[in-house]
Structures are given as structure tokens and as C-alpha cells.
Amino acid sequence: MKKQFKTESKKLLDLMINSIYTHKEIFLRELISNASDAEDKLYFRSLTDENVALKREDYEIRIDLDKENRLLTISDNGIGMTAAELEKNLGTIAKSGSSEFKSENDQSPDVSVIGQFGVGFYSAFMVADDVRVCSLAYGETQAYEWRSKGADGFTVTPCDKDTVGTEVILHIKPDTDEEDYSSFLEEYKLRELVRKYSDYIHYPIVTDVETTQKNEDGEETTVTEKQTLNSMVPLWKRPKGEVTDEEFADFYKQKFYDYEAPAKTISYKTEGTATFSALLFIPSHAPYNYYSKEYERGLKLYSNGVLIMDSCKELLPDCFSFVKGIVDSDDVSLNISRETLQHDSQLKLIAKNVEKKIRSELEKMLKNERAEYEKFFKAFGLQIKFGVQSDFGMHAKDLENLLMFRSSETGEMTTLGEYVSRLKEDDKVIYYACSDSVAKIEALPQIDALKSKGKEVLYCTEYVDEFALKTMREFDGHEFVNACTVSDDLTEDEKTEQEKLNADYAEVAKAVKDALGDSVAEVRFSSRLGKHPVTISTQGEISLEMERVLSSMPGADEMGGVKAQSVLEINADHAIAGKLKAVYALTPEKIADYAKVLYAQARLVGGFSVEDPAEAAELVCDIISR
């Protein structure tokens, strides 16, 4: 007699087939996991029941193909199901025998049961239009077959099967325009799926492969050979000393599609608040799409050796998005689809632990393998700086020791800690300067000025640099100061001198400022520029570099534009200062021409574009011809 699925099951089945799983191919993972669970159960039974004849090594999961009849069979020699269990377990969706088994046998350390939610089985209907489950339960003599063609119901009838266990026989759907169902009848495809999803199932998953061999007389014969498709023991569960660097590297290259070995392999296990094994890799170079939207951040998440999620974002913080790897935890709670994780508190604990581990490994690398670290920083430093700046600097403190900048003092990359260790007694601040290349920064008059005073400057050549430093504000109690901001942090002598210059040049400075209008906030004469005639510095929080970055961002115009407060600084010790005074005294109406040329020059040297290049060029020519 045909039985109806319980009504809620009907709806669920429909929902399930059409929406819970995003990839049809995962049906194989689900059926293999069920088979593995069933074998675990019988094995568990054998620990207390000496009538179980099977030994640990006898358990296996078989995959058989019958292309002609479009049949794919997954069989196990696990515990099997009685007629009542077939009806109960497969007749009600979301009825999980496994979870009942688990709660009854909660003390069992030897059994790790994957199924918990009672829907995995139905994923078979995503690829099959007729499903038969033929099962002989342990301790029974009569086998039964559960059969269903989908939502309209199922039958349970006696059948022939004389070995304990279950066979799930799928009749694969005909191909459609969108879906090549026939591929699930191809050996290579199944091999690939087993490797992808079920490689670490701890029973062999076997299939028969036919090969032709020549016998002694040179005649060809067909031989059937049993092959194991899965590797069973996950690399990360093998004792650490047993796995060679090469094995780790091969695993990495194969799983994460890289042609180069990783820069660093981190393999560890923890127990306690979060119990899991992790195998993490720091790539030796950035993937071509790393800094683009296509790049997918995340770690592979396994539970009991079964792949749950290919790329679990929640496990990796953004600042370490370059890390590849896997986390295997037996205690992540899974929701019905195993594709979305229901309670992520466990995940959060794991993520926190992973983040800490990556950070401490990077710090170790910086300390012990400097050259390697610098190479790493070249590839991924940008991401770390983004991390410092993101979320209003929430992670800055955690990341500050990983930062590096090129130093004016050593010409090499230096950490903030190293910079601070070189500070002289009276030095309080950390100087930095920004432009798009080291050469351009070194051409800045302000750098000469600071260098001549014996100060070290950090060179910031990436646009995020200054934002990151501004977010941090200080390191180890030392404030970050842009070398190109006008400094009011003067000694008493310098103050007196500056006041004198201000008085001396008051009128000329005002005339120059009037000529330049809103382009500059102030014009001042100073005596710190050495051989350079002019430069542009800024006042306040926004530097010219920041102005440039912010105004090039989408939507900047609507925000009304961000303006730096520029200060045109003219070198009072340079001949140009005397010249300006003379021009102002004799032909005050000409001072504007000089002002504009000097302003253009200061912008050019600072690495910025000239606002009106035609006018500036004309003025230069004009002045030369005078």
C-alpha cells in the first residue's frame, strides 16, 4: 500500500528539493555521511555486542554505477534499518534517527555521528526521480525496501538482501538544458565529489574500476579492481611530526589552487572553550584577484572530517583575509542544510582563537624570520593597514606591531617599535611623510628639514597609510605627525626667530596671500627649508595627500569636497625672499605673478598637480623675459 508522507513532510520535501541546498552535487556527501553514520553505529554496537561479526577494517562504503540504466548505488555495511525504521526515519522529514541515537549514547567517545537533522537523505531527490533504499537491519532476517518517486509518497515492501546494511539506489534524472544530471553517472565526477566533500570520512569509500591487462600470452583481459576514493585520515589529524613540509605544501597547492608553496604553514589543535583542529596557510604571494571584489575570504569548515562549508567567512577577520586553510570541529552545530550554521557562538569562539593564532605566528615570523616577514608584508601589508583603519580603529592595537614602513634613517623597512627604540631623549613624536614614491618623498623640502635636525621619518607610499596612522593617533605614547604639517612645536629660540620673521615679512606675506586667495589658508616665511625656496605644508587634520585620496573617491563631490588647509611656506634664507621684498617695494602690482609661480612650484615639488598649468607656464615665461 502506498503511504503518504506526513503532510509537513510533503511541503518540506518540496522546499528542500528546490531551495535548501545550493549545489545539487552535495547529495552524494549526504548519502555518504549517512552510510558512515550507519557504520559508526554498528561499530559502536560491536563494542558491547560480540555477535557483531565485522571488525573495524571490514567497514566500507561502496559506490556502483550502472550507466545504461542510469543507476547510482551507494551501499554500506552499517547497522541497517527495519521496516519500522525505514518508515519512521525516511517517512518523516526532519526525523533524525541519528540525533536520537546520539542523545541515547551521549557518553560514547568512539562514535561521531554526523547526521543530526534528518533532511540530508532527501537531497537525493535533487538528482534522482526514483529512489530505493534496500536495507537489512542488524539482528533481523528480512530486508525491506523503501521506495519513492518524490513528493507523492513512498512504499515499504519486503525485498531480498542477505547482508546487513543499506543500499541506496538512485535513478538519475534525465538531463535538462540547465543541468547535466548524467555527469553523476561518470566515474571521474564521483571521484571528484568524494575528494571534495568526503575525503576524510574514516571508512574507505570504494568503487570497482575496470582495467584491461595483458596476460603472459599477450592477450588482453578485463580486470575489475576495487579502488579507494578517499584518503580517510585528514592531514590535520595526523600527528604533526609525521607530516612533511612537502605534504603540507602539496595539500595547500591542490586545495587552494596555488602554484607556489605557502610562506607559512600553521597546524594546531586546541581543546577547551573551543575544540578544533586547524591547518592554516599564509600564501607566499597575493592571488591576482586579492584586492578585488571577486576574492573570496574564508576557511573551509569541516565537522567530523566532512566538508560543511567551502569558504566560511565568519572564521576569518578581514585583516587576515589572505589566510587559507581549514578548521575541523566536531562541535559546530549545524542547521538543517549543513550549509548555513545555525548557532554561530561556537564559530565565534573558533574565529577568535584563529585570529589570535595568526597574529602571534606573524609576530613570531617578524621576530625570527625577518626577510620572510618583509616579503609577506610586501604582499599583504596593505590588508593589515586596512585592518588598522577599519571599524574606527577597533583592531588597531592588535595589529600595530605588525606594521612596517620604510625609514629615512635606515633606508630599510622598520616597525613602529624599532622607530621608537631609536628616538632620542627629547623626541616625542613619530614623523611620517606621504607621497606615491620614496623618491618623491625624499624630494620634499620638509624631509630635508627634519633630517638636518636628526629626525627619522617614516615613508608612507600607499594611500591607506596616513588613514591608518591617523586612526591609531599614537604608538606607545608617541603621536604620529605628518612631516608636512606646519609645526608649532618649536623651541624657545625657534619661536623668537619665527616671530621676528613674521614681523619682517608681514606685508609681503599678506600680498602673496591676497594673490593666491582661497588656494592657501596662510603664507609664512620660515628658516627651516635649507636649500629649497618654497613648500606647501598643511594645518589641521587633513593633509594634502588625504585631500587627494578623499576627493578621488566616488561621491566626493556630493560631500562638498574635502579641503586641506594649505600653508605656503617661503624660505626666508633663500634669495627668493629678498627678491619678493624688492618686487613688493618697487612694483607691488607684480607680486601676484611671483606668488602664483612659487605656489605652482611648491605643488609640483610636493607631488601634486598645478591647478592652472597654462597660467603658471605663461607666468614663468613672462618673468624670465622681464
Q: Shortest Cβ distance from residue 99 to ligand ADP (Å)?
A: 6
> In Å, what is the CA distance from 421 to each residue of 431, 450, 466, 471, 482?
14, 18, 21, 22, 19
When the beta carbons of 34 and 415 are compared against ligand ADP, the nearer one is: 34
Q: What is the DSSP string of 402-456?
A: G--EEETTTSSEE-HHHHHHH--TT---EEEEE-SSHHHHHT-HHHHHHHHTT--
CB nearer to ligand ADP: pick between 307 and 515: 307
List the grid coordinates of 284: 607566499
Residues in contact with 518: Cβ distance below 8 Å, sequence separation at least 6, in sequence order: none
Identity at 618, one-letter amino acid code: E
Find the binder of ligand ADP among 44, 59, 121, 480 (CB under 6 A).
121
Does 82 contact ligand ADP by CB under 6 A? Answer: no
Q: How far is the CB of 44 from ligand ADP (least distance, A)?
A: 13
Query: Contacting ligand ADP (CB under 6 A), which of 17, 78, 132, 283?
Result: 78
User: What is the C-alpha separation between 479 and 484, in angstroms, rounded?
Assistant: 15
User: Per DSSP, what are the bridge partners of residue 155?
Assistant: 147
Closest CA to 248 of 267, 270, 231, 233: 267
> Which of residues 119, 413, 441, 597 is near ligand ADP by CB under 6 A?
119
Decide if residue 595 touches ligand ADP (CB under 6 A): no
97 binds ligand ADP (CB under 6 A): yes
Integer Cα distance of 349 and 345 in angstroms: 6
120 binds ligand ADP (CB under 6 A): yes
Nearer to ligand ADP, 8 or 489 (CB): 8
CB 200, min distance to ligand ADP, A: 17
Which of 9, 77, 116, 538 binds ligand ADP (CB under 6 A)? It is 116
Whose cell is 598637480? That residue is 609
Task: Report the residue from 96, 277, 414, 537 that binds ligand ADP according to the rule CB under 6 A.
Answer: 96
Q: How far is the CB of 287 from ligand ADP (least distance, A)?
A: 35
If one asks whether residue 148 binds ligand ADP (CB under 6 A), the answer comes out as no
When asked if residue 77 is in the footprint of ligand ADP (CB under 6 A), the reply is no
Q: Closest CB to ligand ADP among 82 and 407?
A: 82
Compute the distance between CA of residue 132 and CA of residue 170 in angstroms, rounded to an integer. 7
Could you identify the residue written with the cell 622681464?
626
Q: Work out whether 277 is an interface residue with ligand ADP (CB under 6 A).
A: no
Give the shortest CB-24-to-ligand ADP separation in angstroms. 16
Specify the amino acid at residue 268: Y
In whole angstroms, what is the distance from residue 302 CA to residue 485 CA? 52
CB of 113 to ligand ADP, least distance (A): 8
The interface region with ligand ADP, picked from 62-70, 111-119, 155-163, 505-513 by CB under 6 A, is 111-119
Sequence-separated (6 or more) residues with CB below 8 Å from residue 79:
38, 39, 41, 42, 45, 137, 138, 164, 165
Interactions with ligand ADP, residue window 33-52 (CB under 6 A):
34-35, 38
Phi (first) and psi of residue 299, to 5 degrees:
-115, 155
Q: Residue 238's closest CA among 206, 202, 263, 214?
A: 202
Q: Which residues bind ligand ADP (CB under 6 A)?
A: 30, 34-35, 38, 76, 78-81, 89-90, 96-98, 115-122, 166
